[in-house]
A and B are shown apart, each in its own frame.
Chain A
Amino acid sequence: MSELVQYLITGVGGGCAFALVGSGLVAIYRVTRVVNFAQGGFAVIAALTASTLLASGLPHGLAEGLAVAVGALTGLLVGLVAIGKPGTPPGAALIVTLGLGVFAYAVEVLVWGDQPRSFPGVPGAVEVFGARFQAHYLLIIGATLAVFAGMGLLFTRTDVGRALSACASNPYAAKVVGISVTRMGLVSFAIGGALGGLAGVLVTPIQLVTFDYDVTLIVGGLVRPALTLAGGLLLGVAQALVAGYGNAAYQMEVALVLMLAVMIWQAARKPIAQEEPA
């Protein structure tokens, strides 16, 4: 029992990071219809930035906050290159993000070297139902819930959020009322960068950022933030259970099998994330 609780909590913690990166992808895709292949890079750049800032003596909190801001700025820059020119088709922008993702990888190696880096998270351990786990997991889970609640408020209670939703559901009507769809696309890239960056700084103390994040967005069908959260958590828990009761080496296979299962299930129901006619 205590093992199961431990796997569930560490799984949810890991799943939160997937959910954050995935919701960043969804935020960008909803507004721009661009699948952002540079999304994983936001997490890595923010995590590496945080490690450097912490090593240079900045206190916890400030260092992570600045790193998330760097993630947002990176997102904005990727957005500027990918969709900055009005009328860029989403397919072309997707290729641009793919190129920028590879470019970011080169920059990371150049600046930080190719050795993995880490930094300490919340110290200490917590015991729940006899299961012991790092206290940092509670920060990850709490921060993710707060961010998703904040995003919900942003999209339903603020003008910028409504404008983002407007661009997502009807870009032509958004133009008619004077909303700059390109500018909102850039805002969504900055949000995506911040969410990816947050995932990076939250997860680095407990595990390395890997590249199997795409499952969450497929589970969420690319446009449903709540499903993205569920998809991220499902992946995290499934991986933790397999690693706990089976073999940790199979985590990647878990992600791939889950992705395949969801794709088959979705294909049986309806086409995935069908484009709306313009």
Chain B
Amino acid sequence: MIEVEDLTVRYGAAVALDGVSLTVGAGEMVALIGPNGAGKSTLVNTLSGILRPVSGRVTIGGRLAQVPEGRQMFPDLTVDDNLRLGGWRIRNRDTGPIYEVLPDLVKLRRRRAGLLSGGQQQMVAVGRALMSRPDVLAVDELSLGLAPLVVADLVRHLRELNSERGLAVLLIEQNARIALDLCTRAYVLEAGRIATSGPSAELAASPEVAAAYLGVAA
């Protein structure tokens, strides 16, 4: 579904990604964890074509949609208009199915997105991404700044989308506990390089990962 081979991205002289390779299979949920500034968002923005790599290859089988970091609402537009714009790429204007998947949005559809809570905005961001009928969803910092209960609700939605619709998910998270709990496999990105990767259970059990990302004393 997503195949990244030996990807290098630079901002001027600064190397943001240095020879990164990763894969996400069809219907798979994969986590990308790592500290602030490791290059996680750079990777997502390269996958969605906003940034151009210096070298390496990105192959995406099917359609990729991005839930960007910071939710990135169109604050002056209504929730419904935000969703509609999510379908811009494929000229999809039918927001009905999104309200079926995310019924909490129904009562908010006429509200201006800028006035919503963080959790509601994240829900809109997920819905907006779904409007392009993606095969794979790249979710950048799902939990950032949100209360645990709100995150749990969003995680439940992602799980449903994955199990019921076969949507593949690449979850980019600083909160490694959430990421490793939700996804079957994970990559750890540090300073623009994949430091380690493997099944989530193995990574969670690894003393280094536990110490660095799960707050467990090594």
B 105-120 to A, binary, CB cutoff 8 A, 1 in contact else 0: 0000000000000000
Chain B residues within 8 Å of A165, by CB: 74, 76-77
Q: Is the CB of A173 within 8 A of B88?
A: no
Interface contact A170-B72, CB-CB below 8 Å: yes
Which of B29-37, B78-86, B164-172 participates in binding chain A?
Answer: B78-86
Per-residue contact bits, chain A 150-192, to B (CB 8 Å; 1 contact, 0 not):
0000000001001101100110111111110000000000000
A179, closest chain B residue (CB):
B88
Chain A contacts for B84, CB-based, 8 A: 159, 162
Given contacts A159-B93, A172-B68, contact A177 B75 (CB under 8 A): no
Contact between chains at B50 and A177 (CB < 8 Å): no
Docked complex Cα distance between A170 and B132 (Å): 19
Say which residue of B68, B93, B132 sits within 8 Å of A178 (CB atoms).
Answer: B132
CB atoms of B50 and A166 under 8 A apart = no
B66 within 8 A of A: yes
Bound complex: CA A173 to CA B128 (Å): 11
User: How many A-B pairs fall under 8 Å by CB?
Assistant: 50
Q: Which residues of B contact A177 (CB under 8 A)?
A: 85-86, 88-89, 128, 132
Decide if B77 touches A162 in the complex (CB within 8 Å).
yes
Q: Are the CB atoms of A166 and B66 closer together than 8 Å?
A: no
Contact A178 B89 (CB under 8 A): yes
User: B73 near A: Cβ within 8 Å?
Assistant: yes
Partner of A176 from B48, B75, B76 at Cβ < 8 Å: B48
Docked-complex contact B68 and A173, CB < 8 angstroms? yes
Query: Which residues of A have CB within 8 Å of B66?
Result: 176
Q: How many residues of B contact A (CB 8 A)?
A: 19
- Partner among B77, B88, B128 whose Cβ is within 8 Å of the Cβ of A169: B77
- Inter-chain contacts of A176 with B (CB < 8 A): 48, 50, 66, 68, 72
Interface contact B74-A170, CB-CB below 8 Å? yes
A169 to chain B, nearest CB (A): 5
Please state if B73 and A159 are interface contacts (CB–CB under 8 Å).
Answer: no
Could you say which residues of chain A place their CB within 8 Å of the CB of B88?
159, 163, 177-179
The closest CB in chain A to the CB of B76 belongs to: A169
Within 8 A of B (CB), among A166-225: 166, 169-170, 172-179
The chain B residues found within 8 Å of chain A, CB to CB, are 48, 50, 66, 68, 72-77, 81, 84-86, 88-89, 93, 128, 132
15 contacts between A and B (CB under 8 A): A159-B84, A159-B85, A162-B85, A163-B85, A169-B75, A170-B72, A170-B75, A172-B50, A173-B68, A173-B73, A174-B74, A176-B48, A177-B86, A177-B132, A178-B88
With A162-B77, A169-B75 known, 19 other A-B pairs at CB within 8 A are A159-B88, A163-B85, A165-B74, A165-B77, A166-B74, A166-B77, A169-B74, A169-B76, A173-B68, A174-B74, A176-B50, A176-B68, A177-B86, A177-B89, A177-B128, A177-B132, A178-B88, A178-B132, A179-B88
